Structure 1
Amino acid sequence: MAASASSTAILAASLFISLAGVAVTGVDARFRAMQWTPAHATFYGDETAAETMGGACGYGNLYASGYGTDTAALSTTLFRDGYGCGTCYQMRCVGTASCYRGSPVITVTATNLCPPNWALDSNNGGWCNPPRTHFDLSKPAFMKMADWHAGIVPVMYRRVPCVRKGGLRFALQGNPSWLLVYVMNVAGAGDVVNMWVKGGGAGQGWMRMSHNWGASYQAFAQLGGQALSFKLTSYTTGQTVLAAGVAPPSWCFGLTYQARVNFS
């Protein structure tokens, strides 16, 4: 699984708590749990979950970013070129003796991509080949619902709201002419489809950021020395959130700044 090149720097960063921010949306866009659907799940790594750190979403050390080991790598169909990063799922093992008694329900967050393996058949090793819906869990998460010796188990899953403590987090990377922002700790539907940045300089307007990869967005602009505000739209619900004054004029690359607002 490919890890973001800047994830280590991001998670070595300090956390700045913003004192400003207002959430705005024109409709009741609260995300609600979806219906249960069949799929399959495997796992990667060992009990330490060391191999799950980093990942294609760019969250880096998942302990430091608040996601822990209850995580999953998504097949291409669910990953959606990175727009599936941060989404949350409940699942339970069903229909096999490897499932634990009572079919316990686990909750995981999408932090990585399970890439296709075109050398193997989709039903015999190429579990993440499109159009299959598949979850490659951390081993600790898998072991909460099934005997790990099974390797692969049938599951029922559903998208659920992401429950997060605190506001959205913005990890800043880049250089004086390029701002790269990793969006983390996203509540509600957990996903982002559009993002804008606004500097605090005179005459500054909202600048639309382009999707880089995973959970990162970029702007090619010189924004140093200006307070930064961000506006984000959820991929699933269309809800828009305004996080005003998240980073102060003295913001620095390599730091993570937290707003007081989040999706619902």
Structure 2
Amino acid sequence: MAGGIDRNWYDARATFYGDAAGGGTMQGACGYGDLFKQGYGLATTALSTTLFNHGLTCGACFQIICVNDPQWCIKGATPISVTATNFCPPNYSKTTDTWCNPPQKHFNLSYKMFTSIAQDKAGVIPVKYRRVPCVKSGGVRFELKGNPYFLMVLVYNVANAGDVSHVSIRGSKTDWLTMTHNSGQVWHINQNLVGQSLSLLVTTSDGRFLKFSFVAPSDWKFGQTYESKQNF
């Protein structure tokens, strides 16, 4: 799937998981953890293998509408906007209802989002979707995890394209170092940067990039989140 925002509509299907309060939708494969705390709430979706792109589509935003199913689509429903926060794994043991198996384009929505466009009794619905800009409040945020010799950075609250394709990091005593994609929107590097202020260079799927200079001070701690003053 081409990176960045795409105004064209495409065909897919959708189901739902979790309950009305969001139970079962937290701690997804993208690494965001508590989606309420991180600002994503219930406006979320899990993606099938084809759309997930090994986790690199995490953070992308989609507009979705129920189509061609007058029995179950809610007439006149406003299209929903959701952020990709999880993975809908394939089930190769099944021969029917293989919604998340390649090459299917499928959205496993939160219950709240699904029932905004269709009756929950439907189970599965045909939809149309398109990539839309992510609207975020505040700057890009970086959660630092790991240990002194294995630094992991979760990049989130990314506006516009939303999904990150490349991350580099620089300590106050190093040159720019390329980080490796770990999973979801978690990036890692085998480098001891403890005691150094950290700068990050982030590129989104549409090719735009921003430099976040000294976003974490020299006394940064594992488990802490640092918010920049910039966003895409």
2:193 matches 1:223: yes
Aligned to 2:92: 118
Aligned to 1:52: 25
Q: 1:103 deviation in Å? A: 3.6
Structure 1, unaligned stretches of length 5 or more? Answer: 1-30
Aligned to 2:81: 107
TM-score, normalised via structure 2 length: 0.96
Q: 1:174 deviation in Å? A: 0.8
CA distance in 2, matches of 1:209, 1:257: 18
2:183 matches 1:213: yes
Larger relative contact order (Cα-Cα within 8 Å, sequence gap ≥ 6): 1
2:188 matches 1:238: no
Aligned to 1:179: 151
CA distance in 1, matches of 2:135, 2:20: 24
CA distance in 2, matches of 1:33, 1:114: 22
Residues 73-131 of structure 1 show CA distances to partners (whole Å, capped at 9, x for unaligned) of 0000110001010000001111111111114200000000001011112xx32100000
Q: 1:188 deviation in Å? A: 1.2
For the residue of structure 1 that corresponds to 2:62, the secondary structure is: strand
Aligned to 2:166: 194
Please report the RMSD computed on the Cα atoms of aligned residues, expressed in angstroms.
1.0
| Contact 1:93–1:104 (CA under 8 A) maintained in structure 2 | no
1:76-91 equivalences under 5 Å are 76-91=49-64
CA distance in 2, matches of 1:257, 1:50: 27
4+ residue stretches of structure 1 with deviation over 3 A?
none
Q: 1:32 deviation in Å? A: 4.2
CA distance in 1, matches of 2:202, 2:116: 34
For the residue of structure 1 that corresponds to 2:180, the secondary structure is: strand
Aligned to 2:42: 69
Q: Kindly indicate which of the two structures has a greater share of residues assigned to strand.
A: 2
Aligned to 1:13: none
CA distance in 2, matches of 1:221, 1:37: 42
TM-score, normalised via structure 1 length: 0.85
| Contact 1:161–1:189 (CA under 8 A) maintained in structure 2 | yes
Q: 1:48 deviation in Å? A: 1.3
CA distance in 2, matches of 1:95, 1:102: 13
CA distance in 2, matches of 1:262, 1:194: 15
Structure 2, unaligned stretches of length 5 or more? Answer: none
CA distance in 2, matches of 1:222, 1:46: 42
Aligned to 1:139: 111
Equivalent residue letter for 1:61: D
Aligned to 1:94: 67
2:185 matches 1:247: no
Q: What percentage of aligned pairs have identical amino acids?
A: 48
CA distance in 2, matches of 1:33, 1:262: 20
Equivalent residue letter for 2:145: Q
CA distance in 1, matches of 2:164, 2:92: 29
Alpha-carbon distance change, 115 to 32 in structure 1, aligned in 2, over 3 angstroms: closer
Aligned residues: 228
Residues 131-156 of structure 1 show CA distances to partners (whole Å, capped at 9, x for unaligned) of 00000001011111110110000111
CA distance in 2, matches of 1:208, 1:151: 43
CA distance in 1, matches of 2:7, 2:55: 20
For the residue of structure 1 that corresponds to 2:117, the secondary structure is: coil
